[in-house]
């Protein structure tokens, strides 16, 4: 029908006498005028070419216009080809900046396209240090997390140019701490062993060793022992966690235990003449393994040895001349001393039996 009508319209135009033709309006003249501005009527083919060129220029000049496509009209004003526009995607979520650590809270990226079509979010093939599940990005290890946003287009819209978000993922810091309490204030050689334990905030296992500077102790199967023949020393225990692809190495922590020899007090008694025919017991009192600064007392009298007491030096040792009087009629004089060992224990009733009391 449309084609027949066109034919009728052409026939009616050609049947008019040339002398009686007049254009109905200025707009009609503009529509029919030639490219050179003359009033000569334009043919259908010429008008079709002009309409197509005008439509093409509109598409080129407004490729980001509000419509999803430009419709190119044919010469008769009928609808022509639909030319798709490109949908531009963009992220609507703000990525973590300037970087994240492995184990930091997850991130949910979101994006939209100018077409209004849904955007597909994936991890790029080059991405490392993160995973994507259920739309949420989790940071698992050191790397460069690259998130892609794509819109494939449809019959109306061209595929969108891919956009990306890039997030640097660093190793997470961790700390190490002892969970066991070291012997305090110190130990004496031969004291019970100690089992140190430690944990890391990463949950990774901690390595426990003796420091290269350590003395006075040994470590075997995780147990620290203090040999009975140990002299003064400093037992230094190290705890380390080396880290991995997710965690940085932890700063080393240490426990230091002062080690003293076996605690003991001894006296080398001897008869001391204090006057004509009068003798008392004297000699040298020595001690080791005592708590530094502690004082040894004569337990029998309850007063400081020789009236002043004997104070242990920083190494836990003490030495002083001692003088003890024999009681009248006594045949021997037992000496009792009381002190505090380096490990805090009391040296109970250390007894030194003297030789028989000297006779006048």
Examine the pLDDT at 130 and tell me if it is beyond 50.
yes
Backbone torsions φ then ψ of 52, nearest 5 degrees? -65, -45
The per-residue pLDDT for 309 is: 65
Examine the pLDDT at 23 and tell me if it is beyond 90.
no
Query: What average pLDDT does range 212-238 have in this prediction?
Result: 96
Q: 89-170 with 176-260: one CATH topology? A: yes
Examine the pLDDT at 159 and tell me if it is beyond 80.
yes
- Topology classification of domain 89-170: Immunoglobulin-like (2.60.40)
Examine the pLDDT at 355 and tell me if it is beyond 70.
no
Report the alpha-carbon distance of residue 214 to residue 198 in Å, rounded: 18
Q: Assign domain 264-356 one CATH number from 2.40.10, 3.30.410, 2.60.40, 3.90.550.
A: 2.60.40
Q: Is 161 helix (H, G, I), strand (E, B) or coil?
A: coil
Report the alpha-carbon distance of residue 112 to residue 42 in Å, rounded: 48
Report the alpha-carbon distance of residue 344 to residue 161 in Å, rounded: 77
The per-residue pLDDT for 271 is: 67
Show me where the domains of the chain are located. 27-83, 89-170, 176-260, 264-356
- Per the CB < 8 A criterion, the answer to whether 319 and 277 are in contact is no
The per-residue pLDDT for 303 is: 52
Domain 176-260, architecture per CATH:
Sandwich (2.60)
What's the whole-number average pLDDT of the chain?
77
**Maximum CA pair distance of the chain?**
177
* Percentage of the chain lying above the pLDDT 70 cut: 62
Backbone torsions φ then ψ of 288, nearest 5 degrees? -145, 160
Torsion of CA 68, 70, 71, 74, to 10 degrees: -170
> How do residues 283-334 score in pLDDT, each as one tens digit?
677 888 999 988 877 655 555 444 456 788 999 998 877 656 555 555 555 5
């Amino acid at each position: 029908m449309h084609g027949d009508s066109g034919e009728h319209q052409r026939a009616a135009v050609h049947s008019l006498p040339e002398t009686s033709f007049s254009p109905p309006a200025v707009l009609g003249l503009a529509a029919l005028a030639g490219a050179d501005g003359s009033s000569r009527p334009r043919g259908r083919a010429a008008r079709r070419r002009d309409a197509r060129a005008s439509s093409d220029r509109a598409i080129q000049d407004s490729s980001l216009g509000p419509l999803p496509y430009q419709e190119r009209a044919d010469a008769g004003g009928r609808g022509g080809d639909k030319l798709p526009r490109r949908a531009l995607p963009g992220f609507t979520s703000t990525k973590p900046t300037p970087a994240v650590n492995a184990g930091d809270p997850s991130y949910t990226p979101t994006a939209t396209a100018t077409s209004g079509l849904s955007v597909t979010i994936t991890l790029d093939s080059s991405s490392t240090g993160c995973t994507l599940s259920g739309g949420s990005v989790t940071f698992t290890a050191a790397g460069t997390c690259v998130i892609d946003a794509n819109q494939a287009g449809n019959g109306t819209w061209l595929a969108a140019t891919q956009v990306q978000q890039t997030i640097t993922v660093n190793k997470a810091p961790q700390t190490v701490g002892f969970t066991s309490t070291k012997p305090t204030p110190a130990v004496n050689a031969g004291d019970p062993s100690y089992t140190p334990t430690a944990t890391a905030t990463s949950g990774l296992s901690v390595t426990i060793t003796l420091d290269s500077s350590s003395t006075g102790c040994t470590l075997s199967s995780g147990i620290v022992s203090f040999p009975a023949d140990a002299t003064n020393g400093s037992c230094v225990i190290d705890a380390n966690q080396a880290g991995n692809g997710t965690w940085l190495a932890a700063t080393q922590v240490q426990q230091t235990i002062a080690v003293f020899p076996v605690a003991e007090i001894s006296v080398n008694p001897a008869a001391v003449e204090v006057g004509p025919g009068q003798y008392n017991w004297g000699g040298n009192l020595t001690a080791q393994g005592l708590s530094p600064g502690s004082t040894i007392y004569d337990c029998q009298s309850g007063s400081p040895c020789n009236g002043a007491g004997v104070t242990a030096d920083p190494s836990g040792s003490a030495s002083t001349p001692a003088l003890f009087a024999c009681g009248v009629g006594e045949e021997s004089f037992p000496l009792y001393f009381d002190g505090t060992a380096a490990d805090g224990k009391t040296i109970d009733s250390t007894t030194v039996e003297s030789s028989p009391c000297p006779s006048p």
